[in-house]
Chains A and B, each alone.
Chain A
Amino acid sequence: MQVTLKIQRYNPEKDKAPWWGEYKIEAEPTDRLLDALNYVKWHLDGTLTYRRSCAHGICGSDAMQINGANRLACKVLLRNLGQVITVEPLRGYKVIKDLLVDMDAFLARYRSMKPFLITHSPQPEKERLQSPEDRERFDDTTKCILCGCCTSGCPSFWANGEYVGPAAIVNAHRFLFDSRDEGTVERIELLNTVDGVWRCRTIFNCVEACPREINVTRAIGEVKKAILMQKV
Chain B
Amino acid sequence: MVQRYDAVIVGAGGAGLMAALQLAGHANVAVLSKLYPTRSHTGTAQGGIGAALGNEGEDHWEWHMFDTIKGGDYLVDQDAAEILCREAVETVYDLEHWGLPFSRTPEGKIAQRPFGGHTKEYGKSPVRRACYAADRTGHMILQTCYQQCIKNQVHFYDEYHVLDLLVSDGRCAGVVAICLATGEIHTFHAKAVIFAAGGCGRMFRVTSNAHSLTGDGMAVVLRNGVPIEDMEFFQFHPTGIYKMGILLSEAARGEGAILRNKDGERFMERYAPSLLDLAPRDLTSRAMYREIREGRGIGGKNYLHLDMTHLGAEVLDKKLPDITEFVRTYLGIDPRTEPVPIQPTAHYAMGGIPTDLDGRVIMDERNTPMPGLYAAGEVACVSVHGANRLGTNSLVDILVFGRRSGRHAARFVQESDWAPLPPNPDEWASGQINRLRNSIGQERAVDIRDVLQDEMMEKASVFRDAASLTAMSEKLKELRQRFANVKVEDKGTRYNTELLEAVELENLLDLAEVLVEGALVRQESRGAHFREDFPTRDDANWLKHTLAYRGEKGVTFRYKPVTITKFQPQERKY
Chain A partners chain B: yes
Within 8 A of A (CB), among B99-143: 99, 101-110, 133-134, 136, 139-140, 143
Q: Is the interface of B mostly helix, strand, loop or mixed?
A: loop
30 contacts between A and B (CB under 8 A): A11-B494, A30-B332, A41-B497, A49-B495, A49-B497, A51-B39, A53-B39, A53-B41, A54-B41, A54-B44, A57-B329, A59-B35, A59-B38, A59-B40, A61-B35, A61-B39, A77-B330, A77-B332, A103-B36, A111-B150, A116-B98, A116-B148, A125-B93, A131-B104, A131-B108, A132-B106, A139-B101, A139-B134, A142-B133, A142-B143
Separation of A12 and B136 alpha carbons in the complex (Å): 38
Mask: chain B, 520-551; 1 = CB below 8 Å from A; 0 = not: 00000000000000000000000000000000
Nearest residue in B to A31 (C-beta to C-beta)? Answer: B244
Given contacts A30-B332, A127-B92, A127-B102, could you give 7 more A-B pairs where the C-beta distance is less than 8 Å?
A49-B490, A54-B211, A127-B97, A131-B104, A131-B108, A132-B104, A178-B101
Q: Is the CB of B99 within 8 A of A181?
A: yes
Q: Is the CB of B489 within 8 A of A46?
A: yes
**Given A54-B43, A60-B38, residue A116 in contact with residue B151 (CB < 8 A):** yes
Q: Is B338 an interface residue (CB 8 A)?
A: no
Q: Is the CB of A13 within 8 A of B493?
A: yes
Mask: chain B, 488-505; 1 = CB below 8 Å from A; 0 = not: 111011110110000000
Determine which of A115, A138, A145, A175 lies in contact with B139 in the assembled complex, contact meaning CB atoms within 8 Å: A145
Q: Is the CB of A47 within 8 A of B490?
A: yes
Q: Is the CB of A96 within 8 A of B181?
A: yes
Q: Is the CB of B492 within 8 A of A11?
A: yes
Which residues of A lie under 8 Å from residue B136 when comparing CB positions?
A: 58, 142-143
Q: Is A100 an interface residue (CB 8 A)?
A: yes
Within 8 A of B (CB), among A126-141: 126-132, 134-135, 138-139
Separation of A50 and B500 alpha carbons in the complex (Å): 12
Q: Is the CB of A47 within 8 A of B489?
A: yes
Q: Is A232 an interface residue (CB 8 A)?
A: no
Separation of A129 and B133 alpha carbons in the complex (Å): 15
Q: How far is the CB of B527 from chain A (nearest CB, A)?
A: 26
Q: Is the CB of A46 within 8 A of B490?
A: yes
Determine which of A57, A58, A146, A178 lies in contact with B99 in the assembled complex, contact meaning CB atoms within 8 Å: A178
Q: How far is the CB of A125 from chain B (nearest CB, A)?
A: 8
Q: Which of A52, A123, A139, A142 has the most CB of B within 10 A?
A: A142
Separation of A76 and B35 alpha carbons in the complex (Å): 22
Separation of A171 and B484 alpha carbons in the complex (Å): 47
Q: Is B274 an interface residue (CB 8 A)?
A: no
Q: Is the CB of A129 within 8 A of B107?
A: yes
Which residues of B lie under 8 Å from residue A42 when comparing CB positions?
A: 444-446
Which residues of A lie under 8 Å from residue B104 when comparing CB positions?
A: 130-132, 135
Mask: chain A, 94-129; 1 = CB below 8 Å from B; 0 = not: 001100100100010001001111010001011111
Q: How far is the CB of B315 from chain A (nearest CB, A)?
A: 14
Q: How far is the CB of A116 from chain B (nearest CB, A)?
A: 4
Which residues of B lie under 8 Å from residue A162 when comparing CB positions?
A: none
Q: Is B394 an interface residue (CB 8 A)?
A: no
6 interchain residue pairs of minimum CB distance: A117-B99, A129-B108, A46-B489, A42-B446, A116-B147, A46-B498
Q: Is the CB of B446 within 8 A of A135?
A: no
Which residues of A lie under 8 Å from residue B41 when comparing CB positions?
A: 53-54, 59
Q: Is A45 an interface residue (CB 8 A)?
A: yes
Determine which of A56, A100, A114, A134 lies in contact with B326 in the assembled complex, contact meaning CB atoms within 8 Å: A56
Q: Is B457 an interface residue (CB 8 A)?
A: no
Determine which of B36, B39, B110, B212 lies in contact with A127 in the assembled complex, contact meaning CB atoms within 8 Å: B110
Nearest residue in B to A128 (C-beta to C-beta)? Answer: B96
Which residues of B lie under 8 Å from residue A13 when comparing CB positions?
A: 492-494
Determine which of B101, B109, B151, B244 lies in contact with A142 in the assembled complex, contact meaning CB atoms within 8 Å: B101
Q: Is A190 an interface residue (CB 8 A)?
A: no
Q: Is the CB of B43 within 8 A of A138?
A: no
Separation of A20 and B92 alpha carbons in the complex (Å): 50
Separation of A58 and B102 alpha carbons in the complex (Å): 18
**Given A115-B147, A131-B104, A143-B136, residue A58 in contact with residue B97 (CB < 8 A):** no
Mask: chain B, 418-449; 1 = CB below 8 Å from A; 0 = not: 00000000000000000000000000111000
Q: Is A43 an interface residue (CB 8 A)?
A: yes
Nearest residue in B to A34 (C-beta to C-beta)? Answer: B211
Q: Is B210 an interface residue (CB 8 A)?
A: yes
Which residues of A lie under 8 Å from residue B488 when comparing CB positions?
A: 46
Separation of A32 and B246 alpha carbons in the complex (Å): 12
Q: Is the CB of B99 within 8 A of A59?
A: no
**Given A14-B492, A46-B490, A55-B211, residue A107 in contact with residue B99 (CB < 8 A):** no
Q: Is A224 an interface residue (CB 8 A)?
A: no
Which residues of B lie under 8 Å from residue A132 when comparing CB positions?
A: 103-106, 108
Q: Is the CB of B492 within 8 A of A135?
A: no
Which residues of A lie under 8 Å from residue B140 when comparing CB positions?
A: 142
Q: Is A75 an interface residue (CB 8 A)?
A: yes
Separation of A130 and B37 alpha carbons in the complex (Å): 28
Nearest residue in B to A43 (C-beta to C-beta)? Answer: B446
Q: Is A180 an interface residue (CB 8 A)?
A: yes
Separation of A53 and B40 alpha carbons in the complex (Å): 8
Which residues of A lie under 8 Å from residue B493 when comparing CB positions?
A: 13
Separation of A116 and B107 alpha carbons in the complex (Å): 25
Q: Is the CB of A97 within 8 A of B446?
A: no
Mask: chain A, 14-55; 1 = CB below 8 Å from B; 0 = not: 100000000000000010100000000111011101111111
Nearest residue in A to B490 (C-beta to C-beta)? Answer: A47
Q: Is the CB of B150 within 8 A of A127?
A: no
Which residues of A lie under 8 Å from residue B106 when comparing CB positions?
A: 132
Separation of A57 and B211 alpha carbons in the complex (Å): 13
Separation of A8 and B140 alpha carbons in the complex (Å): 34
Within 8 A of A (CB), among B12-51: 35-36, 38-41, 43-44
Nearest residue in B to A133 (C-beta to C-beta)? Answer: B104
Q: Is the CB of B38 within 8 A of A145?
A: yes
**Given A43-B444, A131-B104, residue A53 in contact with residue B492 (CB < 8 A):** no
Separation of A41 and B453 alpha carbons in the complex (Å): 18
Nearest residue in B to A132 (C-beta to C-beta)? Answer: B104
Separation of A111 and B147 alpha carbons in the complex (Å): 8
Which residues of A lie under 8 Å from residue B494 when comparing CB positions?
A: 11-13, 96-97
Q: How far is the CB of A198 from chain B (nearest CB, A)?
A: 24
Q: Is the CB of A130 within 8 A of B99?
A: no
Q: How far is the CB of B48 from chain A (nearest CB, A)?
A: 15
Which residues of A lie under 8 Å from residue B181 when comparing CB positions?
A: 96
